[in-house]
Amino acid sequence: MATSVKMRDEDKRRLDRLQGELQAMRGRRVSQQDLLAWLLTMGEREKAALGEDAARPLTARERRTLMSLPVKTGIPSGEETIDEDLARDAR
């Protein structure tokens, strides 16, 4: 059964490039389905390394990206009242 997977355009380009490089190395077609299955198998074998990578400090770019994401708290506020709202909620 085939399932669609949503991914960023850059990740799709990387997957396509990897697929092409593997096809050139092996001299035969490599489907994206087979490539993803192989990557998942590698990931399962390397769980410890993946866990260590997840625990690494964020890069400056990753921090900026994270800080730019909206956070929905359910508390109506604006930039001018955030400090007041936080102080009131802390009491």
Q: What is the model's pLDDT at position 48? A: 77
Whether the full predicted model's pTM is greater than 0.85, yes or no, is: no
Q: What is the model's pLDDT at position 56? A: 77
From the list 48, 26, 53, the residue with the least C-alpha distance to 38 is 26
> Does pLDDT of 71 surpass 70?
no
Confidence of residue 58 (pLDDT cuts 50, 70, 90): confident
From the list 74, 54, 71, 73, the residue with the least C-alpha distance to 62 is 54
> Does pLDDT of 35 surpass 70?
yes
Q: What is the model's pLDDT at position 84? A: 78
Domain ranges of the chain: 9-67
